[in-house]
Structure 1
Amino acid sequence: MRTPARIGPYRIERLLGAGSFATVWLGHDPVLDSHVAIKVLAENWSHDLRVRERFLDEARLLRRLDHPRLIRVHAVGELPDGRPYAVLAWADGGSLRDRLATGPLPVAEALTLLGEIAAGVAVLHRHRVVHRDLTPGNVLFASGPTAERVLVADLGLAKALAAASGLTARAGTPGYMAPEQDDPLAVVDTRSDVFGLGRLGLRLLADPDGGPGPAPRWRPGVPAAVPAVLRRATAVRPADRYLDADAFRAALRRAASPADADDRYPSDPAPPAGPRADSAEGVEHRADPPSTDSTAPATRSRRGPARLVGRAGAGALALVALGALAGDAGRPGPGGTRATSGPLSVALPAGWRATGTGWAGQYGDDGRLEPALIVAADPDRWAADPGVPGAFVGLSADAARRTTPEGFVAERPHADCVAAPLRRSRQAGVDWVVARYACPAGRPVLVEAAGLAAGRDALLYVQIAPPPGGGTEFVDALLAGVRVRATGD
């Protein structure tokens, strides 16, 4: 790979690293007389608009958060060939991957470091962002005036929780990504990052020569209560993990050093009072505080399911491909073919097919996924192509216990879109609450609808990207085709 002489105004000194999507160079800022890291989108991805937008999203996100626990962005630019680049703060201490390559860290240092990494991830979670790729290579170190700082980097796979549905393309690093990230229908939320933190803890604290077997052998000096924290963090079911990085960090703090936990893990100041989660900034709020007891059995999250919807332009929506329909050509209606998932069924317009048998991330009392369906003319295209309209239909008893249809719809704002007044529609015995959004980019119209299923203590949720010209009549016809068998039928 040829080293460029300059990128923008920066003189390039050497290559820092190269990955599948980007190359990072060490540059020199002549104005400030300081070093910077310059991340350039790989040439083979420069014409993929989705990858290009993801690359720029990372820079925008880091610039907006601008936190000392996260790698900072100074500027963005574009090469003469059109490839974007981001100018980042240089982490002169290298990465955790580099340090582990020379041997394990002392246990006390590893515990402190894991707490610091969790604190950085907690900054993301407080702003409703999921990293999704926590690995030793994405933990960096930078010199500070009094002490070395630990930085969380490489948010190229991160999404605001409003857009962090697993119904996007899978993403993550094997060995560190949560099981649900390998499922194209999975919902990815803060608990996926908790899994990554747990795996980092295993890498730092387990004996690398422990031999085969599912149970790791812990290094001498690991406090007795810490393995239980890491087991819970890496549970297969998201519902069995800690709610977020803050909860994980608190449990680790108590388990690692109960006597001087507050000194070992100094708390970050609380974020300033700001807008609620239904605002444009999307700051997180909770119905009640998370459980952080590492010894108590895991309880079902009271925050509710991660949002399946988000920025219209991101293409990360829990939607289905209904086909490019116009007028009444694809209107759902009574009779005809129906698709089913457990007690849930949906009327299919001619030519449509269905996929999906469970609502990823939503578990019933029996521990199984609650029913859901994706119906589409081309189910293979709907998730990746924002030009394809569609709908997702789910049934959740857990959601009905947690909130109302009005509350469920309110949890799913679209910050970049303009909302029409909320309306109600009674279809097939269900009183639906319906919100419609007009969006400036990506999918032009999005509809969120929720209602209580007749004869069942369960909430019905439908998200729709209507076909061109598909107005209120189309939406109501689709809702009228949703049926749920009553309990005991």
Structure 2
Amino acid sequence: MTAPLRIGPYAVERLLGVGSFATVWLGRDATLDAYVAIKVLAENWSHDLRVRERFLDEARLLRRLEHERLIRVHTVGELPDGRPYAVLAWADRGSLRDRLAVGEIPPHAALRLLGEVCAGVAVLHRHGVVHRDLTPGNILFRSTGPDTERVLIADLGLAKALAAASGLTARAGTPGYMAPEQDDPGAVVDTRADVYGLGRLGIRLLATTPPTDAGPPPRPARIRLRHGVPAAVGAVLARATAYHPADRYPDASALRHALTRASAPQGRTPGPPPVRRRHGWRLAGAAVATVVAVGQVAAEPGGAGSGRPAVGTYTTGPLTVLLPAGWSAAGSTWAGLFDAGGEPEPALVMSPRPRRWAADPRLPGAFVGLSTATAARTTPAGFLAERAHGDCAAAPARTTRQAGVEWTVVAYRCDRGRPRIVESAGLPPGRGALVYVQITPPDDNTRFVDTLLAGVRVR
């Protein structure tokens, strides 16, 4: 990977890390003589509007919460190729994963650290946010003085949020720290999922033989604590990692107070926990209007539609679309989706400027993707239900038959970003695949949408 020389006003010093959805670089602000961490959306996800919005939503959320226990966001920007980036505070003392790779943390220090992590997650819970991906790699340390540091919570479940946004069926995040219900797409994931992750983190820090990340949690009787850890802590960790959410502590604050009580010297009882307000739970980033990459096509010659003449076609793999005047297309693959043979599923983007469409909300455009893997697990209506836009108003779903395909169509009106988003999916006869078209139309014209769908062909 070639390092960029600059990102925005920052000189790039070196690579800090690479993930499935983003790359993080160490940048330096020469004017302030300060270092920052710059997270850049991965190139293979840049066409997907929905994923882009999830990426930016984490930055917006952290900026809004602005708490000393959470990683800080300074600003966001965009690279010349349209990919967004977020400028974050640099955790100059690394992550918990880094420290555990060097050696075990002394028991009393590990117990204090677990309490600090619980306090950070409790900040999220007080604001109705569920992290969903609490792992050693997401626990960071930033120096506050020569001999002092602060524990920070980072990456608010971004990998899992992006996986959900992009329709991935594969597990996202770190196995071993995710609650059992997170593997069930129909389950309600709330703050108790984070309690499970915190409990697993506690077992990793405090057990004599920490389980492997991919293994199941040990049974309560088998949690053997390291020397110096109060025995009552084992019962707290066992309850935190209970299989059923109802059997766990309700949130991170309750778990923290339970750990405090369990670790207090005999004869001393900590004071009562403060009264907490109840909030309605929501997933981190789930309430933002987002869109997936889409592709638009014009009226089929001689057919009903927008009235614009079709001036050509574009083909990638088994997909062929009609192009309206002034439009072009770019072939691609459906990022993160693979067929039974492990090959990427085909997709394309169409717009007057297809390579800018994802980044510019003023441009109309569309994404067209074909997926056998998606057809094997759900229906067109079920797939569209996964792609709802939480901050947008949805019209009732409708069906339309175009070019031999029965399409399910849901139109959204949004108060910010793109004002209109149309989600549509259908099953081409005899293909065993689901074809998905997400459209940001140039105007509020149902006929334009139907004509676009009529111009989609699957061989």
- TM-superposition CA deviations, 1:318-369 (whole Å, max 9, x none): xxxxxxxxxxxxxxxxxxxxxxxxxxxxxxxxxxxxxxxxxxxxxxxxxxxx
The alignment status of 1:21 with 2:11, answered yes or no, reads no
Q: What is the CA distance between 1:173 and its match in structure 2?
A: 1.8
Match of 1:440 among 400, 404, 415: 415
The alignment status of 1:86 with 2:91, answered yes or no, reads no
How many angstroms apart in 2 are the aligned matches of 1:45 and 1:240?
Answer: 38
Match of 1:243 among 226, 246, 250: 250
The alignment status of 1:48 with 2:55, answered yes or no, reads no
Partner of 1:313: 289
5+ residue gaps, structure 1: 271-283, 287-302, 316-375, 388-413, 420-436, 446-467, 469-489
Q: How does 1:2-401 map to 2 (within 5 A)?
A: 2-145=2-145, 147-157=148-158, 171-208=172-209, 214=219, 215-258=222-265, 285-286=277-278, 311=287, 313=289, 378-386=380-388
5+ residue gaps, structure 2: 292-377, 395-411, 422-443, 445-459
Greater RCO (CA < 8 Å, at least 6 residues apart): 2
Partner of 2:449: none
How many angstroms apart in 2 are the aligned matches of 1:54 and 1:304?
Answer: 20
CA contact (8 A) 1:92 1:142 kept: yes
Name the TM-score, length of structure 1 as normaliser: 0.56
CA contact (8 A) 2:192 2:248 kept: yes
Q: Summarize the Cα distance change of 1:237–1:15 in structure 2 as closer, same or farther, 3 Å threshold.
A: same
1:222 counterpart letter in structure 2: V
Q: What is the CA distance between 1:312 and its match in structure 2?
A: 6.5
How many angstroms apart in 2 are the aligned matches of 1:417 and 1:384?
Answer: 14
CA contact (8 A) 1:132 1:158 kept: no
Equivalent position SS for 2:234: helix
How many angstroms apart in 1 are the aligned matches of 2:52 and 2:153?
Answer: 21
Q: What is the CA distance between 1:208 and its match in structure 2?
A: 2.7
Q: Summarize the Cα distance change of 1:243–1:383 in structure 2 as closer, same or farther, 3 Å threshold.
A: same
Q: Summarize the Cα distance change of 1:305–1:72 in structure 2 as closer, same or farther, 3 Å threshold.
A: closer
2:179 counterpart letter in structure 1: A
- Using the TM superposition, name which of 67-76 and 142-151 deviates more: 142-151
CA contact (8 A) 1:386 1:443 kept: no
How many angstroms apart in 2 are the aligned matches of 1:116 and 1:241?
Answer: 19
Equivalent position SS for 1:150: strand
Equivalent position SS for 1:383: helix
Q: What is the CA distance between 1:168 and its match in structure 2?
A: 9.7
Q: What is the CA distance between 1:384 and its match in structure 2?
A: 2.7
Equivalent position SS for 1:143: strand
Equivalent position SS for 2:12: strand
CA contact (8 A) 1:210 1:217 kept: no
2:48 counterpart letter in structure 1: D
CA contact (8 A) 2:128 2:281 kept: no
The number of equivalent residue pairs is 308
Q: Summarize the Cα distance change of 1:308–1:112 in structure 2 as closer, same or farther, 3 Å threshold.
A: closer
CA contact (8 A) 2:135 2:174 kept: yes
Equivalent position SS for 2:36: strand
Q: What is the CA distance between 1:258 and its match in structure 2?
A: 4.5
CA contact (8 A) 2:129 2:282 kept: no
Q: Summarize the Cα distance change of 1:2–1:309 in structure 2 as closer, same or farther, 3 Å threshold.
A: closer
2:135 counterpart letter in structure 1: T
RMSD of aligned Cα (Å): 3.8
Equivalent position SS for 2:383: coil
1:230 counterpart letter in structure 2: L
Q: Summarize the Cα distance change of 1:179–1:314 in structure 2 as closer, same or farther, 3 Å threshold.
A: farther
Q: Larger % of strand: which? A: 2
1:203 counterpart letter in structure 2: R
Name the TM-score, length of structure 2 as normaliser: 0.59
Q: What is the CA distance between 1:172 and its match in structure 2?
A: 3.1
Q: Summarize the Cα distance change of 1:183–1:224 in structure 2 as closer, same or farther, 3 Å threshold.
A: same
Equivalent position SS for 2:203: helix
How many angstroms apart in 1 are the aligned matches of 2:253 and 2:173?
Answer: 21
- TM-superposition CA deviations, 1:141-198 (whole Å, max 9, x none): 00013721000001143999xxx99x99764321000001011111110000000000
